[in-house]
Structure 1
Amino acid sequence: MATITKIHGKTGLSFKITVHCGYDELYRKRRHYKTYRPPATWSEQYAEREAQRVAVEFENSIRQGFRLDNRKTFAEYAAYVIDLKAHTGTKHSTIELYKHLCERINPAIGHFKLTEIRPQHLNRLYVSLAEDCIKHSADNARAKVNLGALLAERKISRAALSRQAKLSPSTVTAACRGQTIRQSSAESISSVLSIPPQELFDYFHSEEKLAVKTILQHHRFISAVLSQAEKEMLVTYNAASRATLPKARRSKVNYFQPEEITAIVKALESEPLKWKLITHLLLVTGCRRGEIMGLKWDRVHLDKHYLTIDNNLRYSKARGIYEETPKTGETRYISIPTETVSLLREYQAEQEQLRKFNGDRWRDTGFVFTQDDGRAMHPDSITAWLAKFSKRHGLPHINPHAFRHTVASVLIANHTDVVTVARQLGHSSATTTETYYAHLIEESRVQASECIANVMLRRAIPSDTTSQSSPGPVNNQRSL
Structure 2
Amino acid sequence: MASIEKRAGKNGDSYRITVSAGYTKGGKKVKHTKTWTPDPGMSEKKIAKTLQRVATDFERDIELGYQTDNRQTFSEYAAYVLDLKKQQGVKTQTIDFYQSMMERTNMAIGHMKLCDIRPQHLNNFYRNLQENGLRKGAAKAIAKPALQKARLDQHMSKDALAKKAGVASNTIRTMENGSKVMPKKAEAVAAALGNQTSDLFTLEKDMTPLAPKTVDSYHRFISTVLAQAEREMLVPYNAAAKAVPPKLEHKEPNYFQPEEINAILEALETEPLKWRTIVLLLIVTGCRRGEIMGLQWERVSLALRTIKIDHALLYSHTRGIYLDTTKTADVRFLKIPQEAVDLLEQWKQEQTAMRFASGSLWHETGFVFTQEDGRPMNPDSITKWLNQFSKRHNLPRINPHAFRHTVASVLIANGTDVVTVSKQLGHASTTTTEGFYAHLIEERKAEASDCIADVLLRGGERSQNASPTPKKQA
Q: TM-score, normalized by length of structure 2?
A: 0.83
1:186 is displaced (CA, Å) by 4.5
Q: State the partner residue of 2:140.
A: 141
AA matched with 1:9: G
Structure 2 equivalent of residue 422 of structure 1: 422
Q: CA contact under 8 A between 1:17 and 1:36: conserved in structure 2? A: yes
1:74 correspondence with 2:74 = yes
Counterpart for residue 128 of structure 2: 128
Verify the 8 A CA contact 2:252 2:436 in the aligned structure 1. Answer: no
User: Aligned partners of 1:228, 1:215: CA distance in 2, in Å?
Assistant: 21
What SS class does the counterpart of residue 138 from structure 1 fall into?
Answer: coil
How far apart are 1:330 and its partner, in Å? 2.3
Aligned to 1:321: 321
Deviates more, 1:52-61 or 1:340-349: 52-61
Distance 1:214 1:368, change over 3 A: same
Q: Corresponding residue for 1:103?
A: 103
* Structure 2 residue aligned with 1:16: 16
After the TM superposition, which residues 361-440 of structure 1 pair with which residues of structure 2 at under 5 Å, given as runs? Answer: 361-440=361-440
Counterpart for residue 263 of structure 1? 263
Structure 2 match to 1:254: 254
1:203 aligns with 203
Unaligned runs of 5+ in 1: 162-170, 462-473
2:323 & 2:75 partners in 1: Cα distance? 30
1:190–1:197 Cα contact (<8 Å) kept: no
> d(CA) in 2 for partners of 1:460 and 1:82?
62
* Partner residue in 2 for 1:165: none
Q: Is the 8 A contact 2:70 2:234 kept in 1?
A: no
Deviation (angstroms), 1:18: 2.4
> Aligned-pair distance for 1:415?
1.4
Residue 94 of structure 1 is matched in structure 2 by 94
Distance 1:333 1:111, change over 3 A: same
- Preserved contact between residue 186 and residue 197 of structure 1 (Cα < 8 Å): no
Give 2:44's aligned residue: 43
Is the 1:142–1:178 contact (alpha carbons within 8 Å) kept by the matching residues of 2?
A: no
Q: In the aligned structure 2, how far is the partner of 1:440 from the partner of 1:314?
A: 31
CA distance 1:475–1:376, change in 2 (3 Å)? closer
Aligned partner letter, 1:305 = R
Match of 2:294 in 1: 294
Residue in structure 2 matched with residue 450 of structure 1 by the alignment: 450
The aligned residue for residue 32 of structure 1 is 32
Whether the 8 Å contact between 2:119 and 2:240 is mirrored in structure 1 is yes
- In structure 1, distance between residues paired with 2:460 and 2:365: 65
Change (3 A) 1:23 1:333: farther
Q: How big is the shift at 1:279?
A: 0.3
Counterpart residue number, 2:346: 346
- One-letter amino acid matched to 1:224: T
Question: In the aligned structure 2, how far is the partner of 1:309 from the partner of 1:194?
Answer: 51
CA-to-aligned-CA distance 1:295-315 (integer Å, 9 cap, x gap): 111222223322221222222
CA RMSD of aligned residues (A): 3.7
Number of matched residues?
A: 454
Structure 2: distance between partners of 1:293 and 1:447: 38
Structure 2 CA distance for aligned equivalents of residues 98 and 276 of structure 1: 36
Q: Structure 1's 242 and 363: CA in aligned 2 closer, same or farther, altered over 3 A?
A: same
Contact 1:34 1:70 in 2 (8 A): no
Q: Give a deviation string over 1:420-471, Cα, whole Å, max 9, x none.
A: 212211222211111111112122222333334444455699xxxxxxxxxx
Equivalent pairs: percent with the same residue?
51
Displacement of 1:106: 1.8
CA displacement 1:225-270 (0-9 Å, x = unmatched): 1101101111000111111232211223211111111121122222
Note the alpha carbon deviations across 1:39-89, whole angstroms, 9 max, x for none: 654436x85576456435423422432212352221221122122212221
User: What's 2:153 paired with?
Assistant: none
Task: State the TM-score, normalizing by the size of structure 1.
Answer: 0.82
